[in-house]
Amino acid sequence: MSKAILYDATICINCKECEKACAQKNNLPYDDKIASESVQSDHKYTVVLAKNDKYMRRLCQHCEKPACASVCPVGAFRKTADGPVVYDVYKCIGCRYCMVSCAFAVPKYQWGSLNPRVQKCIMCPDNVAAGKPTACASACPTGATKFGDRDDLVREAQDRIRANPANYVNHIYGLKEVGGSSVLLLSGAGADFAGFGLPAGLPEDPLPEYTFRVLSKIPDFVPLWGLVLGGVYWITHRRVEVEAAEGKHGGAR
Amino acid sequence: MKFKLTFWKAVFAVIMIAGIYSTYVRFFKGLGAVSGMSDKFPWGIWIGFDVLCGVMLAGGAFVVTGAVYLLNIERLHSICRPAVLTAFLGYVLVICGLMFDLGRPWFIWHQLIYMNPHSVMFEVGFCVMFYTTVLALEFSPAVLERFNLTAPIRWIRAALIPLVILGVILSTLHQSSLGTLYLIMPEKLHPFWYTPALPFFFFLSAIAVGLAMTIFESSVSSRAFGRQLELPVIQELGGALWIVLWVVALLRVEDFYHRDQLLAIFRPGYEAYFLWLELLLSLVIPLTLLSFKKVRLSADGLYLSAVVCLLGFVTNRLNISITGLETWAGHHYVPKWTEVSITAMIIAMGFFLFAMAVKFLPIFPEEEEHSAGIPVGTRQSAPLPQRKEAPELINAGD
């Protein structure tokens, strides 16, 4: 069963306990200055955004069909069966295609490091594998960040919107975006997701399909193209041979 | 040999000193210190120019070897070797450029052991690796002749046609795949440039640029090395370029039409200005110039058309890799001077290595000999380059 995180902005109180727990879990620094930073970065995997009195939490969406895992030439990213999209720094060569391809601009880079790595939320894969919630979900005092089975959480999100349609934007972000993700977000009424940097109108097709449509043709294309080129060679040279044999250009060869 | 300081040598020296300083910054201060790249804009000119344009500009070899050995157009034979040399150096320099751009270049060999066949980048990497090897083999007779090693030349000669076919296949794959790289960002790349046909356009532009680059390189070589220009050859290339550009132009219009962009591209705006510049340089001006027979037949006219066309397609790839992504990123990327100086150093190295190869290896056919029709590997003796009095090496840049 695939696990997921459900974040509900209407329950969130902007206490930033999730940020703090995340930093501790991933051995990242955390202080008042970092707490006030409102962007995900190489030292901040998750951030609670505040716009007027509306909140939104940003973290890796953990796509069902992640672009980052698809584009990585060395397979440093991997979608686990449990849900987390994990990163293996020992494979990474630093091409940053993951950053370019991510629809949510989640992966961040250690631009100041001499042996840089990509930094992003990896959904506490050790906790998840052991059947425990992620650090952020454990730390959340109000239950705004909830950990569970994805199917259950989807149903719960639908129920919450249905029970209180006036309180919510009628959209579960992450249900269908780029093929769905293991992080589901609910936003308070009047605060659209785009305002928090979550792109609207993303395709429902998983992004890897856009490139795989082309890549998957290569195994058929190569022998065919080789045959065509070989055929062209044969025809053009055969013509010369025939001409020579017929004595039209007897001395040419 | 007495050393004489000339304008181009001085330029070369300045570029190299700046480049070496920037190399120090890159490897001792990090990517953030040396470049204008950031989390908002993770790919800059090192990908947009050094890789995307570098590979495109090195496309001359697969076009010319394909034409000579597969289409059997013997008249182009004399430019085979310089075209293969240009491409080989081009690919080597692309790989050098990657060493600056990759965050962990010391792990580039991971590509060989951790393979992800779903990744376009993996495919490009493998094709570039194999194709560089193919180019090295195709070029090797020039080196072998120099040292009078006839036996290996015979082996290369026996394998030449399969090598050429392999080279064309690998080029088709990775030239188009550079476009496929951008297919995964339908929501990011501006609709002027995002089209499912990107791989196809990348391949077509590699052919156009391959032809233009060969004209450029022949013209520059004739000036820099005091050789007589083989006008009939570049006339032929110019004619082919004219046809390919028409094909590109018609398909671009059709593509804009099918994606409902045909009116949008005329509305002024940041992206539109860059698109206009690209279309003017890559298609409108060269097509206009080449439509005059006088231009198609004159050395200067062909040279001018080729240069404008090259600038146009470079603009095209920079638009795709930079301009077209800026609105989505909400960030205006400006490369730092150190970043530019590394690109400049790589280009300068290209001219320098080309000049060195011409000086020490039999690259061009001997002028008095009528060389058309003699396959690459057949010259038994090693004809040394003619000119003992080498003109300024760095003149290749003028």
In chain B, which among 202-241 make CB contacts under 8 A with chain A?
none
> Which band of pLDDT confidence, cut at 50, 70 and 90, is reported for residue B2?
low
> Which band of pLDDT confidence, cut at 50, 70 and 90, is reported for residue B157?
confident
Which ranges of chain A does DSSP label H, i.e. alpha helix?
17-25, 32-36, 67-71, 97-101, 125-129, 135-139, 150-163, 208-215, 218-245
The reply to whether B42 touches chain A by the CB within 8 Å rule is yes
Asked if B32's CB is within 8 angstroms of A111's CB, the reply is yes
Nearest CA-CA distance, residue A47 and chain B, Å = 16
Q: Is the pLDDT of residue B384 over 50?
A: no
Q: Compare CB distances from B186 to A100, A203, A221 and report the shortest one's residue.
A: A203
Task: Pull the structure tokens for residue A37.
Answer: 């930073």
Residue of A nearest to B199 (CA): A214
Burial label for A202, CB within 10 Å (0-12, 13-18, 19+), is middle
Residue A170 three-state SS: coil
Asked if B173's CB is within 8 angstroms of A222's CB, the reply is yes
Q: What is the pTM of this model?
A: 0.89
ipTM over 0.95: no
Asked if A211's CB is within 8 angstroms of B110's CB, the reply is no
Asked if A112's CB is within 8 angstroms of B32's CB, the reply is yes
Distance CA A69, CA B210 (A): 34
The count of CB pairs under 8 A between chains A and B is 162
pLDDT tens digits, B355-366 = 999 888 888 876
Q: What is the mean pLDDT of residues B127-139?
A: 94
Q: What percent of chain B has pLDDT above 70?
A: 91
> What is the radius of gyration, based on Cα positions, of chain B?
21
Q: Is the pLDDT of residue B331 over 60?
A: yes
- Give the domain ranges of chain A: 3-205, 217-252
Nearest CA-CA distance, residue B351 and chain A, Å = 27
> Which band of pLDDT confidence, cut at 50, 70 and 90, is reported for residue B7?
confident
Q: Is the pLDDT of residue B31 over 80?
A: yes
Q: Is the pLDDT of residue B258 over 90?
A: yes
> Which band of pLDDT confidence, cut at 50, 70 and 90, is reported for residue B199?
very high
- Regions of chain A with pLDDT less than 70: 1, 248-253
Distance CA B288, CA B284 (A): 6
Task: Pull the structure tokens for residue A101.
Answer: 């391809």
Tokens 């194709």, residue?
B131
Residue of A nearest to B321 (CA): A100
What was the pLDDT predicted at B97? 94
Nearest CA-CA distance, residue A149 and chain B, Å = 28
Residues 6+ apart with CB under 8 A from B257: none
- Measured between beta carbons, which residues in chain B are less than 8 angstroms from residue A212? 118
Q: Name which of A21, A29, A37 is nearest A137 in CA terms.
A: A21
Asked if B115's CB is within 8 angstroms of A74's CB, the reply is yes
What was the pLDDT predicted at B380? 39
Q: Compare CB distances from A232 to B71, B123, B177 and report the shortest one's residue.
A: B71
Q: Compare CB distances from B30 to A101, A114, A213 and report the shortest one's residue.
A: A114
What was the pLDDT predicted at B367? 57
Q: Compare CB distances from B185 to A42, A101, A109 and report the shortest one's residue.
A: A101
Q: Compare CB distances from B107 to A93, A96, A221 and report the shortest one's residue.
A: A93
Q: Is the pLDDT of residue B134 over 80?
A: yes
What was the pLDDT predicted at B1? 54
Q: What is the mean pLDDT of residues B213-237?
A: 89
- Measured between beta carbons, which residues in chain A are less than 8 angstroms from residue B42? 96, 99-100, 109
All structural domains of chain B, each given as residue ranges with its CATH number in brackets, are 14-361 (1.20.1630.10)
pLDDT tens digits, A63-78 = 999 999 999 999 999 9
Distance CA B49, CA B26 (A): 18
What was the pLDDT predicted at A253? 43
Asked if B181's CB is within 8 angstroms of A97's CB, the reply is yes
What was the pLDDT predicted at A151? 94
Q: Is the pLDDT of residue B328 over 60?
A: yes
pLDDT tens digits, A118-135 = 999 999 999 999 999 999
pLDDT tens digits, B42-99 = 999 999 999 999 999 999 999 999 999 999 898 898 899 999 999 999 999 999 999 9
Fold of A3-205: Alpha-Beta Plaits (3.30.70)
The reply to whether B102 touches chain A by the CB within 8 Å rule is yes
Residue of A nearest to B38 (CA): A111
Q: Name which of A224, A217, A230, A150 is nearest B200 in CA terms.
A: A217
- Measured between beta carbons, which residues in chain B are less than 8 angstroms from residue A99? 39, 42
Nearest CA-CA distance, residue A107 and chain B, Å = 8
CA dist list (Å): A210 to B218, B259, B331, B345:
40, 17, 25, 36
What was the pLDDT predicted at A49? 93
- Measured between beta carbons, which residues in chain A are less than 8 angstroms from residue B107? 91-94
Distance from chain centroid for Cα B58: 3
Interface test with B, best of A44, A193, A211, A213 (most B CBs within 10 A): A211
Asked if B70's CB is within 8 angstroms of A229's CB, the reply is yes
DSSP class of residue B364 equals S
Distance CA A80, CA A82 (A): 5
The reply to whether B188 touches chain A by the CB within 8 Å rule is yes
Asked if A208's CB is within 8 angstroms of B121's CB, the reply is no
Give bridge partners of residue A54 from the DSSP assignment: A51
Measured in residues, chain B has a length of 398
Q: Is the pLDDT of residue B397 over 80?
A: no
Nearest CA-CA distance, residue A2 and chain B, Å = 23
Interface test with A, best of B34, B47, B107, B331 (most A CBs within 10 A): B107
Asked if A211's CB is within 8 angstroms of B180's CB, the reply is yes
Q: What is the mean pLDDT of residues B306-322?
A: 96
Residue of B nearest to A102 (CA): B185
Task: Pull the structure tokens for residue A19.
Answer: 């940020």
What was the pLDDT predicted at A174? 94
In chain B, which among 147-166 make CB contacts under 8 A with chain A?
161, 165
* CB distance A65 to A179 below 8 Å: yes
Tokens 């294309």, residue?
A221
